[in-house]
Amino acid sequence: MIKLRAFRAIDDLNACKKFMLGHRAVLENIGVKKITSSKDEWMENPAVFVIIVENIESNKVLGGARVHVAEGKQPLPIEEATGYLDDSIYGIIKKYADNGTGEICGLWNSREVAGMGIGSVFLTRACVAISSQIQLQSLFALCAPYTISMAENVGYTILYNVGKNGTFYYPKLDLVATAMILEDVALLSKASMEERNSIFDLRKNPNQIKNETLKNKDLVLNFNLEIQNIEDWYNSGIIKNIIK
């Protein structure tokens, strides 16, 4: 059985290190040695939340993704990746940060679960689902070509007013990434009916076991998306200070 578990980065350093090593290995396999979202600083950032995909039997991390909150101190990965190419991204992030925004980033999965939809479908759903726990109103993302359609399914649209109609050469010159935004995390008005229902179900029941079928493959997924110690996040005042 595969588990998708959510936590605040500073609450599980060991899992963060496993995430980092797995993500780095995937990037190196496609010839990327350095990437902004793979820097290590996020592990100590109190405004970063992580979802990892674990094999329950072996406890091996098979994939993951992160939600970074724009807290006014550390730039979002999308700002670090594209700001030197088009500095208008800073003003856009600032505008949405006033009401609570963040970014889904660092999404990856190992070869062991390739083709199962773990990265492109289930991790994306889970990240959008936990964003309501974090009190975010909007989300950004920098998407590889093969993840654009899934992002659109959960309600993202292309941010045409940055880069070249929303696109950048990233993380290297022969790869293209597209800047995208989800403007209504609470309502998901532009999401497909299937994705909206799935995400709302995960919000209502963040801890559940679900039987899923994707591309004629049957999966049993153990979702553990209720963030432990979430009161510490609320009490930290970070999100309140941002909105103020």
Residue 27: per-residue pLDDT: 81
Which DSSP string corresponds to 25-63? HHHHHTT----GGG-GGGGG-TTEEEEEEEETTT--EEE
Residue 47: per-residue pLDDT: 95
* pLDDT tens digit sequence for 38-54: 468 899 999 999 999 99
Residue 7: per-residue pLDDT: 97
What pTM, to 2 d.p., does this model score? Answer: 0.92
Residue 221: CB atoms within 10 A of its CB come to 19
* pLDDT tens digit sequence for 200-220: 999 999 999 999 877 677 888
User: Which is more confidently placed, 166 or 240?
Assistant: 166
Between strands 176-182 and 167-169, the pairing is antiparallel
Q: Which whole-number Å values give the CA distances from 236 to 47, 71, 73, in the listed order?
A: 10, 12, 15
Statement: 2-243 belongs to CATH 3.30.360.10: no
* pLDDT tens digit sequence for 79-99: 999 999 999 999 999 999 999
Report percent pLDDT > 70 for the chain.
Answer: 91
Burial zone of 222 (CB within 10 Å; 0-12 exposed, 13-18 middle, 19+ buried)? middle
Average pLDDT over residues 10-33: 86
